Amino acid sequence: LTGVPREHRAYQYLLAHAIPGDPRHVLQTFDRWCYHCEHLSCVGPIKGRIVERLLAEQAPLRVLELGTYCGYGTVLLAQGLLPGARLYTVEVNPQHAAVAEKVIRLAGFDEQTVELIVGPSEEVIPQLREKHGLLRADFVFMDHWKRCYLRDLRLLESHQLLAQGAIILADNVLFPGAPHFLQYAKTCGKYRCKVHRASLEY
């Protein structure tokens, strides 16, 4: 009714209530907005703990996120990086990317730590090595369109962008679901699969 997208409303709330440079407080403020004001399709705190645990176990130096949206997952990933590690995050929607850029910088991460790439994942992935300097990803977080999961995993494989032992973490594979991706990951013989059960965000 106001003509202001809810993603922008959420960012205005962050500006008013979050502590700049404190990524954990930025995420907590995001959570308060999503619980009490408007739902946003962020990974949220419950599934966020799974992301944090796997990130801590793996300690990756090169992380790729597909689906930045408002930057919640990006901040979640970036706060768990080791010194010198780098996060590449890809968002197809320019309006969402504009909000995410502000959220990421509000949380205190500069372009040396987090590079936001705007464009369709099927176009960005083949350019990651030459244009963005990503030789191989140790950790991939997929949280974009579910129908793109399998296509993009195969693109990462064909362009040899997955490091040996890389972790691919994909959100919402059961609901709304990415059945072809799940079947491929379980049957192609390249991956060991585990399903982490959690409630929907917020």
Q: 139-160, pLDDT tens digit by residue?
A: 999 999 999 999 999 999 999 9
Q: Specify the DSSP class assigned to residue 21.
A: T
Residue 36 belongs to domain spanning:
6-188
CATH number at residue 115: 3.40.50.150
Which residue is it, tokens 């699969």? Answer: 193
If one counts the domains in the chain, the total is 1
pTM, rounded to two decimals? 0.96
The encoded tokens of residue 50 equal: 């799974």
3-class SS at 64? strand
Tokens found for residue 59: 């300690």
Catalytic residue positions, numbered: 143, 146, 171-172, 201
* pLDDT tens, residue by residue, 99-140: 999 999 999 999 999 999 999 999 999 999 999 999 999 999
Within 8 A by CB and 6+ apart from 161, the residues are 64, 125, 128, 129, 134, 135, 136, 137
Q: Exposed e or buried b for every residue in 117-137, given b needs 16+ CB within 10 A?
A: bbeebeebbeebeeeeebebb
Residue 156 lies in a domain: yes
